[in-house]
Amino acid sequence: MTRPMLILISGPYRSGTGGEPEAMQANLRRLEQAAWPIFAAGHIPMIGEWVALPILHSAGATIDDDLADDVLYPTAQRLLQHCDAVLRLPGASTGADQDVAIATHRGLPVYFDISEVPVLRA
């Protein structure tokens, strides 16, 4: 491997939260905990919500609006056209399962533990 990979960090965001904002924030923090190890390994971490939430807010919507499904899932699908791999974190998540299916279909590596992400050698 000679260049950094763009790695989508995928896992529960809304799943299992009952729509509670604090629980969604906790899930986002858990996703973000994987960002530094990916960066430290020489790669670029990406989380779909980092892109989707500002898009949703710019449309005047919130995570509780019907528009959320039309933004969150498609954002991840579009990002996966640019990503080189997926890190799937534990936990039930329809969106994360879709991310894995898309990555697998595209022949992208799917890692299930941060230790599986290869370290980029300069």
Q: Is 13 within the bounds of a domain?
A: no
Its domain, for residue 81, covers 22-91+101-116
Q: Is 5 within the bounds of a domain?
A: no
**pLDDT tens digits along 21-59:** 999 999 999 999 999 999 999 999 999 999 999 999 999
Q: Are 120 and 41 in contact (CB under 8 A)?
A: yes
Which pTM was predicted?
0.94
Query: What average pLDDT is seen over the chain?
Result: 95
Please report the pLDDT score of residue 122 as a whole number.
60
Q: Is 75 within the bounds of a domain?
A: yes
Q: How many CA atoms lie within 13 A of 68 on its CB side?
A: 11
CA distance 12 to 39: 21
Total domain count, the chain: 1
Amino acid occupying residue 45: P
Q: Is 59 within the bounds of a domain?
A: yes
Please report the pLDDT score of residue 83 as a whole number.
98
Give me the numbers of helices (H) and strands (E) for the chain, helices first please. Answer: 5, 4
- Which two structure tokens, joined as six digits, stand for 4? 């950094």
- Which two structure tokens, joined as six digits, stand for 41? 């390994």
